Structure 1
Amino acid sequence: MPTYVAPPGWPREVRPPDAPDWEATAANWLLDLCPPDYRRYSGLRRHVVVLARFAVLHVESQQAAVRRGLSQARADLREVADEAVVEAAVQTFQLEDARLLGVRRAVGLVEEALRGRRYTARL
């Protein structure tokens, strides 16, 4: 029976490379990360590696937006919210930044696998 290997950071929702239907699980997961309108484009569903590139760029744009929000939160919100609310907003931006870092790694791993990279088990 073949052993399929996924590296650390691989998304749970996606089967390891070369496992049965792994590309279908990758496409579904990638579409879940992207704006809903991306589902309308049949070319993205037919060419999963292209979809992966779109997803990478989308996640990177989210990261940029979160980092911009984090850098501007205190100045932008101090006149409309009290200090506790502003600090909660800053903490939310920090949590989202950390989450997106993991998502970006996972999307990158899936893209690399769709481009042909394979992983080996390490002891």
Structure 2
Amino acid sequence: MSQTQVWVPPGWPETVHPPGAPGWEATATEFLLDCCPADYRRYAVLRRHPVVLARFATEYVEGQLASSRSGLSQVRVALAQHVAPEVVESAASAWQEQTAQLTRTRRAVSLVEEALRGRVFVARL
């Protein structure tokens, strides 16, 4: 690997340039804003300070993930008497997919936050 290449770990978001690349913080900011509620865009401090935005995004996504895990653990019991069994299973499947997606998003947000805080990722041989 040449000295000009930057390694990013698995789970790094595709839309975010590697740390140190031209415009990387701008792509990180857009990615993080996309992970948050739309009204986060109105706060200048979040747009101007990506590391602050990363902290907000981390907390927001962690909250979504915790809620999704809780909902998944309860969906079968909560719906069993209200809809057909195949609907319950479809709902559980949808919740599993959402939980998996949020888990991937949480990893990506975490990696971006670490990079914004100065971590340099090194490939392990």
User: TM-score normalised by the shorter chain: which range applies?
Assistant: over 0.9
Give 1:106 shift. 0.8
Instruction: Give the Cα–Cα distance (whole angstroms) in 2 for the partners of residues 55 and 8 of structure 1.
Output: 19
Give 1:102 shift. 1.1
State which of 46, 62, 65 in structure 2 corresponds to 1:63: 65
Give 1:98 shift. 1.2
Give 1:77 shift. 1.2
1:51 matched residue in structure 2: 53
1:42 matched residue in structure 2: 44
Structure 1 runs, 4 residues or longer, greater than 3 Å off: none
1:3 matched residue in structure 2: 5
State which of 22, 28, 33 in structure 1 corresponds to 2:35: 33
TM-score (norm 2): 0.93
Cα shift readout 1:16-70 (whole Å, capped 9, x = no counterpart)? 0000000000000000010000000010001100100111111111111111111
Aligned residue identity for 1:6: V
Q: How does 1:82-97 map to 2 (within 5 A)?
A: 82-97=84-99
TM-score (norm 1): 0.94
1:109 matched residue in structure 2: 111
Q: How many residues align?
A: 123
Question: Is there any run of 5+ residues in structure 1 with no aligned partner, and where?
Answer: none
Give 1:99 shift. 1.2
Instruction: Give the Cα–Cα distance (whole angstroms) in 2 for the partners of residues 68 and 115 of structure 1.
Output: 31
